[in-house]
Amino acid sequence: MAVIDRVTVTVFTTVIRSVVDGHGHRHPGPPREVKEALLEVTDADGATGRCLGQPETLRESMIKAHVRPVLTGQEGLDRERLWHALARRQRGAHGHLTDRLLSTVDQALWDLAGRKLGLPVWRLLGGARSVIPAYASTMCGDDIPGGLASFSDYADFAKELVARGYRGIKLHTWMPPMPHGVDLDIKACAVVRDAVGPDVALMLDSNHWYSRTDALRLGRALDELGFAWYEEPMEEASVQSYRWLADQLATPILGPETSWGKHMARAEWVAAGACDILRVGVVGSGGLIPALKAVHTAESFGMGCEIHGNGSGALAVIGATLCGEWYERGLLHPHSDYDTPPPHLRSIVDPIDESGNVALPMRPGLGDDLDVDHIAAHTVATW
Ligand code: MG
């Protein structure tokens, strides 16, 4: 037991090989330098918990006004109490104290606990399983030659992913600003099913602003093609639209993914009958603490809960619970190399084996293999 006596953010440069378009969709790109940030929480014993984040998420004003006042002088192992104390401050922070910041702080505290106790966080939280099948989550469609520019590109890439060991593939099809629509989605799903055969699990994450009738037409095609789930065809704020859709389809509806409202929004979706499989992310929904509450809600209602996104936080929840079948590995693209770590990591946290499985990390804490020498040598700001 030791109180927290230091909270620091280090902004550093690293290199990535992707670009994000004006609609927030990631595509492969040439190597480019970007800024990332590392949150560190250190206690009176000298133990440190760490979590990577974005500099704009970990803004100096928010660390000064909210994170330091909540954490400093408090017992570092009191994750639940500290999460609630920080979450309560969101009401008066006018949107500036985000769920992403809450998540980064929460993950750093779990990393601290795991390091102090010498346990991986997934085992500290429950220890349900040490291996999980991964599905390949593709990038969106594009106009890159040999990329994901045509139906045959999707089919060829799906066959390549199956050859690498994946037993599940989730398609992100064409979205704005690319030409897009239900007819293109249906054709892409059909050619991929044809390419991989009936035994590979296929999922679709389609355009997020379809009308009810377009979403239903696409869902009926997925019923014919035997898809494992159907994700975010419509604006998630309209819970009644999802109930309307779920009532008419055999394919399980998965959600909500981007909806605001942490575990409480997930409980509302379950109560409304708006999904067949629940969805929660660690980064977007406020951390491990709300994600676990959502998973346990799903389990209590006999539903699965699939964790959104990749990374050590997602793996911690997956390893701690049995309520979900997959780990989302991606985003993947014929021209991108997921398996080579960026320069600020010595290794990736989620290597895949030839059977398509990812082993949970055994390192104490969250399991990220940070290259602290790179970070120190490329630091551009601290607060
Ligand atoms: Mg999604």
Q: Give the pLDDT mean for 103-115.
A: 98
* Residue 346: DSSP 8-state: E
Identify whether 365 is part of a domain.
no
Identify whether 73 is part of a domain.
yes
Domain count, the chain: 2
Q: Are residues 197 and 253 in the same domain?
A: yes
pLDDT of residue 22: 87
Q: For residues 165 and 126, what is the distance between their CA atoms, to the nearest angstrom?
A: 28
CA distances from 202 to 14, 124, 370, 373 (A): 34, 32, 33, 41
pLDDT of residue 337: 95
Identify whether 364 is part of a domain.
no
pLDDT of residue 1: 81
Could you read off the pLDDT of 125-159 as tens digits, one per residue?
999 999 999 999 999 999 999 999 999 999 999 99
- Residue 320: burial class (beta carbons within 10 Å; 0-12, 13-18, 19+): buried
Identify whether 367 is part of a domain.
no
Identify whether 248 is part of a domain.
yes
Could you read off the pLDDT of 15-50 as tens digits, one per residue?
999 999 888 889 999 999 999 999 999 999 999 999
Q: Are residues 256 and 223 in the same domain?
A: yes
Instruction: Give the residue among 208, 218, 233, 203 at the shortest CA–CA distance from 138.
Output: 203
Could you read off the pLDDT of 318-368 as tens digits, one per residue?
999 999 999 999 999 999 999 999 999 999 999 999 999 999 999 999 999
Identify whether 98 is part of a domain.
yes
Q: From ligand 1's centre to the CA of 154, what distance in Å?
A: 18
Q: Are residues 230 and 84 in the same domain?
A: no
Q: Are residues 151 and 178 in the same domain?
A: yes
Q: Are residues 242 and 298 in the same domain?
A: yes
Residue 95 sits in a domain of what CATH number?
A: 3.30.390.10
Q: How do beta strands 379-382 and 4-20 pair?
A: antiparallel
| Residue 79 contacts residue 109 (beta carbons within 8 Å) | yes
Q: Are residues 54 and 181 in the same domain?
A: no
Q: From ligand 1's centre to the CA of 68, what distance in Å?
A: 33
| Residue 189 contacts residue 213 (beta carbons within 8 Å) | no
| Residue 72 contacts residue 88 (beta carbons within 8 Å) | no
Mind spelling out the 3-state secondary structure of 194-235?
HHHCCCCEEEEECCCCCCHHHHHHHHHHHHHHCCCEEECCCC
Q: Are residues 175 and 275 in the same domain?
A: yes
pLDDT of residue 361: 98
Q: Are residues 28 and 14 in the same domain?
A: yes
Q: Are residues 139 and 113 in the same domain?
A: no
Q: Are residues 153 and 95 in the same domain?
A: no
Could you read off the pLDDT of 262-315 as tens digits, one per residue?
999 999 999 999 999 999 999 999 999 999 999 999 999 999 999 999 999 999
Residue 177 sits in a domain of what CATH number?
A: 3.20.20.120
pLDDT of residue 23: 86
Rounded to two decimals, the pTM is 0.97
> Which range among 97-101, 174-178, 256-260 has the greatest average pLDDT?
97-101
Q: From ligand 1's centre to the CA of 58, what distance in Å?
A: 24
Q: From ligand 1's centre to the CA of 1, what distance in Å?
A: 39
Q: For residues 355 and 180, what is the distance between their CA atoms, to the nearest angstrom?
A: 34
Q: From ligand 1's centre to the CA of 61, what distance in Å?
A: 31
Share of the chain above pLDDT 70, in %: 100
Q: Are residues 307 and 354 in the same domain?
A: yes
Identify whether 366 is part of a domain.
no
Q: Are residues 64 and 183 in the same domain?
A: no
Q: From ligand 1's centre to the CA of 309, what distance in Å?
A: 8
Domain range for 223 is 123-359
Q: From ligand 1's centre to the CA of 257, what distance in Å?
A: 6
Identify whether 317 is part of a domain.
yes
Q: From ligand 1's centre to the CA of 170, what distance in Å?
A: 9
- Does 215 have pLDDT greater than 90? yes
